[in-house]
Structure 1
């Protein structure tokens, strides 16, 4: 089983809580252990009238079930979007002979 956490200390509790409280069933065999962390500029988000939910929704629409987005509330000091790849290919531990990622 992949550990559903992060190495970024300030994110550990948020990410763990998300996976514990998630409404959707998460298949740990398909989720990547890598987490892409993007910190968004609060002022630019307000200027462009964007919300974290809007951004996550558009990412999910574009990438369907290939990504999972974790994001915090728009009212916090740091706007952080966390993205993990959902892999439908070979189970973890099996090497891909083609060498492509």
Structure 2
């Protein structure tokens, strides 16, 4: 039972920031420009990526002693998971990370600031 998304679609503006993706490299592929010059491109497969957890900026860096060189973190942290897998392959504690988000366990996790 997946949770229904409460996110609303909105337009990108100068303050909008994109999330990272977890991909799998599946190879290199040649392409040619108008002059016949070869350009090698990398083929990436994007599997089922889901945001598992979001931590707001206030909770990422706890308040420290004021310092004029230390800038506050204005971005939160996203934990993104990719490639759904069989829950029997993982521990109960690991599967518990995904139950709060209403997602099946993911094989790969990434942290994006």
TM superposition score normalised by structure 2: 0.24
Q: Higher relative contact order at CA 8 Å, sep ≥6: structure 1 or structure 2?
A: 1
The structure with the largest alpha-carbon Rg is: 2
TM superposition score normalised by structure 1: 0.26
Whose helix fraction is larger, Structure 1's or Structure 2's? Answer: 1
Whose strand fraction is larger, Structure 1's or Structure 2's? Answer: 2
